[in-house]
């Protein structure tokens, strides 16, 4: 029978085998927050950023903990709109992100697609279609295709979804197929309390979204999404189970989106009472405190990582801001999947 479990840091062994992953994830979280603060300020200032800017404030621990388990060029990854920390942990250069937001022709989408739809499919890094369940089917299908070709091996697939997206038909169909075929798929469900402005009380009647895993025949885990240590331990187990042939794993992180749906949204619908609940903790501040208490980092280390992140983000902005946007008179406007244009080739 499919299992469900709940983990929090008091129950997690703080052995040295988690230290390396913890510190890698924390540095990715710091870089992600720094990068997204820059993108948010550029958006609010007006100018070159066109389209939406969707930030992962409050979700970095949950996202990065998944990302560090996904192997670039070997596994399949379909991130969501608030997965910048996971993208960095997976290995995406932040220059790809900045180039896409600034519409530079040198970016992976050639300046021709939305800020969150970037990817490199040839490497198993899927360009996002929609945050409403589409990537569950895409990643499951990619895993199944590798199995049919005999190239699956110990590959795992991972994708993300929000609490609201778990009510869509695409989520149901993708997870059902993954369960029937016992595909090595890990689905991160960020229960950030609101599907845009709709609270969870109006979205589902079960006590915890992880209860849905059992109905699909999947293994499920419920974790405090503000607790980096617990998230790392949970995803480590989920990916190991998926690779070992136990079928899809669903990890539900309880957290709060620390902002609006996007930078265009002031989130005035989120009551102050919810903001001050446990789920409203800033996961980066929680992780810093854990690092200090465990002796895994010092105040000097944390300051150094923040300074390095600022320099890296500033350097990426300096490069991308000088690069040209697409020239409509030179574009062929063929689909990006066309052989001549795939993977950012535009010479």
Q: Give the whole-angstrom CA distance, residue 141 versus residue 86.
A: 21
Closest C-alpha to 261, from 315, 308, 192, 206:
192
- N-to-C CA span, the chain: 54
How high is the pLDDT of residue 1?
Answer: 42
Q: List the structure tokens of 200.
A: 């969870």
Q: List the structure tokens of 190.
A: 């960020």
- Between residues 210 and 7, the one the model is more confident about: 210
Mean pLDDT of 249-259: 93
Q: List the structure tokens of 78.
A: 């379909």
CA angle 226/15/58 to nearest 5° reads: 10
Q: Give the whole-angstrom CA distance, residue 161 versus residue 251.
A: 10
pLDDT digits (tens, 9 = 90+) for 72-91: 999 999 999 999 999 999 99
Q: What is the SS3 assignment for 136-182?
A: HHHHHHHHHHHHHHCCCCCCCEEEEEECHHHHCHHHHHHHHHHHHCC
Contacts 24+ apart (CB under 8 A), 213-216: 213/2, 213/4, 213/250, 214/1, 214/2, 214/4, 216/2, 216/175, 216/176, 216/179, 216/248, 216/250
How high is the pLDDT of residue 51?
Answer: 81
Q: Give the whole-angstrom CA distance, residue 280 versus residue 193.
A: 10
Give phi and psi for 92, each to the nearest 5: -70, 130
Q: Give the whole-angstrom CA distance, residue 265 versus residue 141.
A: 34
Answer whether 221's CB lies under 8 Å from 62's CB: no
Mean pLDDT of 9-16: 59
Please state which of the ranges 56-70, 107-121, 324-338 shows the lowest mean pLDDT. Answer: 324-338
* % the chain with pLDDT above 90: 59
How high is the pLDDT of residue 205?
Answer: 81
Enumerate residues 6+ apart whose C-beta is below 8 A from 32. 56, 60, 63, 64, 84, 85, 87, 88
The SS3 assignment for 274 reads: helix
| Superfamily of structural domain 4-325 | Thiamin diphosphate (ThDP)-binding fold, Pyr/PP domains (3.40.50.970)
pLDDT greater than 70 at residue 338: no
Angle between the N-to-C axes of helices 228-243 and 283-294, in degrees from 0 to 180, rounded to the nearest 10: 90
DSSP state of 255: -
pLDDT greater than 60 at residue 347: no
- Kind of pairing, strands 157-162 and 4-7? unpaired
Secondary element (H or E) of residue 188: strand 185-191
**275 CA to centre of own chain:** 22
How high is the pLDDT of residue 14?
Answer: 59
Whole-number average pLDDT of the chain: 88
How high is the pLDDT of residue 16?
Answer: 67
Secondary element (H or E) of residue 284: helix 283-294
Q: Give the whole-angstrom CA distance, residue 132 versus residue 172.
A: 11
CA distances for 302 relative to 16, 19, 36, 86, 187, angstroms? 19, 15, 18, 20, 30
Enumerate residues 6+ apart whose C-beta is below 8 A from 201. none
How high is the pLDDT of residue 134?
Answer: 87
């Amino acid at each position: 029978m499919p299992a469900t479990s709940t983990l929090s840091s008091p129950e997690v062994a703080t052995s040295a085998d988690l230290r390396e992953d913890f510190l890698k994830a924390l540095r990715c979280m710091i870089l992600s927050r720094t990068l997204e603060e820059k993108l948010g300020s550029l958006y609010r200032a007006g100018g070159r950023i066109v389209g939406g800017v969707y930030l992962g404030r409050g979700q970095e621990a949950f996202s990065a903990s998944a990302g560090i388990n996904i192997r670039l060029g070997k596994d399949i990854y379909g991130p969501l709109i608030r997965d910048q920390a996971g993208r960095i942990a997976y290995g995406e250069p932040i220059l790809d992100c900045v180039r896409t937001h600034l519409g530079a022709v040198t970016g992976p989408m050639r300046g021709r697609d939305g800020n969150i739809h970037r990817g490199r499919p040839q490497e198993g890094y899927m360009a996002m279609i929609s945050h409403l369940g589409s990537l569950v089917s895409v990643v499951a299908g990619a895993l199944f295709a590798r199995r049919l070709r005999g190239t699956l091996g110990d590959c795992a697939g991972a994708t993300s979804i929000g609490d609201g997206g778990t009510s869509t038909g695409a989520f149901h169909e993708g997870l059902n197929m993954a369960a029937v075929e016992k595909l090595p798929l890990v689905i991160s469900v960020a229960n950030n309390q609101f599907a845009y402005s709709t609270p969870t009380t109006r979205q589902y009647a079960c006590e915890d979204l992880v209860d849905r895993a059992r109905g699909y025949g999947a293994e499920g885990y419920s974790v405090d999404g503000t607790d980096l240590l617990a998230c790392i331990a949970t995803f480590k187990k989920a990916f190991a189970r998926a690779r070992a042939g136990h079928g899809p794993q669903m990890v539900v992180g309880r957290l709060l989106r620390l902002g609006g749906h996007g930078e265009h949204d002031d989130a005035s619908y989120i009551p102050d009472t919810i903001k001050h609940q446990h789920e409203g903790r800033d996961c980066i501040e929680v992780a810093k405190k854990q690092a200090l208490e465990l002796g895994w980092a010092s105040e000097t280390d944390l300051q150094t990582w923040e300074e390095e992140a600022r320099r890296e983000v500033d350097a990426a902005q300096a490069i991308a801001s000088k690069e040209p946007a697409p020239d409509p008179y030179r574009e062929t406007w063929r689909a990006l999947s066309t052989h001549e244009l795939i993977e950012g080739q535009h010479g």
